[in-house]
A = this chain, B = another copy of it.
Amino acid sequence: MSQPSRDRLVELRRAFHRRPEPAWREFWTTARIVEELRSLDVDEIRVGPEVLDADERIAVPDDAERDRWFQRALDAGADPEILDRLRGGFTGAMATVEGGDGPTIGLRVDIDGLPREESTDDEHAPAREGFRSEHEGAMHACGHDAHATIGLGVLEAVADSDFEGTLKVFFQPAEEAIGGGKPMAESGLLDDVDYLLAVHVGLDHPTGEVVAGIEGFLAVHQFRADFSGEPAHAGARPSEGRNAVQAMAAAVQNLYAIPRHEDGKTRINAGKVGGGSATNVVPEEAHIEGEVRGETTALMEYMRDRARSVLDGAAAMHECDVEVTPQGEAPGAESDDAVVDVVEAVAGLTDGVDSVVRTDDLGGSEDATYLMRRVQENGGKAAYVGIGTDHPGGHHTATFDVDEESLVVGVETLTETVRALARERP
């Protein structure tokens, strides 16, 4: 068996890093993945609508926004034939390697970027070494460039090895919007998976450390609240306004003040807000893009329901209306000991791994849980694996970066885990 070289992995990762595409806009990324897949010894490639339940997509941007990114992908040289199959924002792909009789093993990697600016600081390696984001306002700030790379690397390595079983690699779109996990889980493609691995780099674990089974996924619910009032000239007719920004501000203050819950962790964030049009007009509209989380689905729902009361009450206080639109949502999930055992054993024998942690809390949310639950409901088993990487900035910040050494560690650990699982008989 041969594994793709470090240079090849670095080259791939930097290519992805240069072209971060947020949720449902991963046109160039998907096309590039498919082009790579075609160069490998892969048995089946599916893209876009073939890997998603179209009815379950959420947080899909509007036509104009999708067209803008589609065109950008085209301009950047993506294969028009592939792009054409992604129209409407049906991004993502899946590839299969058939290795003969044996269990079916899934590997899920996510591929989307984040809608945030990347640092231009010279301390930031992508800026210094010339592979900073070429899409202003977008950035791979959570390592999904590394994930896509690892997915391709594992496919290549497994395809080149003696492997008895079936490997399906899921290149999932729209994780950051919690939008891609559910439609992919409900595509039917996971129904024959015996073992599912999901992977994430970093998470405050250093290069050389592997977490065999990450736990503590918070159930999450994202929403958008649109407040609408009545505009008025702020100097001449203040009483005629119904001030949507006041309503929004009252909501923000009281959302964070939802009572803590004795049964476990809860979270609330009004992560992006805005409102109003000009200093001298009483604001007629305002909005909150926010999220709630809970250690369990019940705790998430407690927060969601309380948040609703706050939003409605805040609007009423200022005689405004509010429309609350659910965005992404993801349940919790647990890694199975049977798979964690294998990851732990394999990682302990892998070059470059100097520390194996059996389990650690994520503290965040992930829509990989949809895929894990789907597999588990069908009698399969799953684990969420952490591949440590030294990252200078925190996840989702402007200076996030991955130590490229960890690409090699990730590919090797997961390749060997896939092969070891293939030797298990469920």
A398 closest partner in B (C-beta) = B231
For A395, list chain B residues within 8 Å (CB).
Answer: 233, 236
- Neighbouring B residues of A248 by C-beta, 8 Å: 249, 252, 273
Chain B residue numbers with a CB within 8 Å of A232 are 394
B254 near A246 with CB under 8 A, answer yes
Residue ID in chain B nearest A302 by CB atoms: B239
The listed residue with most B CB atoms (<10 A of its CB), out of A235, A243, A319, A394, is: A235
With a cutoff of 8 Å between Cβ atoms, the chain B residues found around residue A7 in the complex are: none
Inter-subunit contact A289/B279 (CB<8 Å): yes
Closest to A252 in B: B249
Q: Select one of B235, B277, B313, B364 contacting A313, CB under 8 A.
A: B313
Interface pair B277/A115, CB less than 8 Å apart = yes
Contact present for A396 and B231 (CB under 8 Å): yes
Q: Is A266 an interface residue (CB 8 A)?
A: yes
Contact partner of A274 among B203, B259, B273, B310, CB < 8 A?
A: B273
Q: Select which of B218, B274, B276 is within 8 A of A275 by beta carbon.
A: B274
A398 to chain B, nearest CB (A): 8
Inter-chain contact B260/A265, CB cutoff 8 Å: yes
Tell me if A269 counts as interface (CB < 8 A to partner B).
yes
Task: Report how far A309 CA is from B243 CA in the complex, Å.
Answer: 13
- Is A168 on the interface with B (CB-CB < 8 A)? no
The answer to the question of A213 belonging to the interface, with a C-beta cut-off of 8 Å to chain B, is: no
Which of B241, B270, B309, B316 interacts with A319 by CB under 8 Å?
B309
Q: What's the interface size class on A, roughly?
A: 35 or more
Of all chain B residues, the one with the shortest Cβ separation from A275 is B273
Chain B residue nearest to A269 in the complex (CB) = B234
Tell me the smallest distance from the CB of A278 to a CB of chain B, in Å: 5
C-alpha spacing A273/B284, complex, angstroms: 12
Complex-state Cα separation, A395 to B317, whole angstroms: 26
Interchain CB contact (< 8 A) of A293 among B220, B235, B310, B317: B235
Q: In whole angstroms, what is the CA distance A291 to B315 when docked?
A: 23
Task: Say how far A163's CB is from chain B's closest CB, in angstroms.
Answer: 35
Q: Are B271 and A237 in contact (CB under 8 A)?
A: no
**Copies of this chain present:** 4
Shortest A168–chain B CB gap in Å is 28
A366 to chain B, nearest CB (A): 10
Q: Is A15 engaged at the interface, CB distance under 8 Å to the other chain? A: no
Q: Which residues of A (281-299) have their CB < 8 Å from a CB of B? A: 281-283, 286, 289-291, 293
* CB neighbours of A273 from chain B (8 A): 245, 248-249, 273-276, 283, 286
Our pick among B234, B259, B365 for the contact of A271 (Cβ within 8 Å) is B234
Indicate if A250 sits at the interface (CB-CB under 8 A): yes
How far is A52 from B255 in the complex, measured between Cα atoms in Å?
44
| A191 CB → nearest B CB, Å | 29
The answer to whether A238 and B262 have CB atoms under 8 Å apart is yes
Does the CB pair B318–A313 fall under 8 Å?
yes
A286 to B273, CA, bound (A): 8
Chain A, residues 219-232, CB within 8 Å of chain B (1/0): the string is 01010000000011
- B302 engages A309 (CB within 8 Å): no
A261 lies within 8 A of chain B by Cβ: yes
B contact residues around A348 at 8 Å (CB): none
Chain B residues closer than 8 Å to A314, beta-carbon distance: 313, 317
For residue A116, which residues in chain B have a CB less than 8 angstroms away from its CB? Answer: 277-278, 281
**Residue among A218, A234, A241, A293 having the largest count of chain B Cβ atoms under 10 Å:** A234
The complex places the Cα of A147 from the Cα of B327 at a distance, in Å, of 46
Asked whether A235 and B302 contact (CB < 8 A) given A249-B253, A309-B316, A317-B313, the answer is no
- On whether the beta carbons of A235 and B363 are closer than 8 Å, the reply is yes
Say if the beta carbon of A267 comes within 8 Å of chain B.
yes
In the bound complex, residues from chain B placing their C-beta under 8 Å from that of A364 are 233, 235-236, 280
Supply 5 A–B pairs (Cβ within 8 Å), ascending by A: A115-B278, A233-B363, A249-B250, A256-B259, A274-B275
The list of the 3 closest CB pairs from A to B, nearest first, reads A313-B317, A256-B257, A236-B363
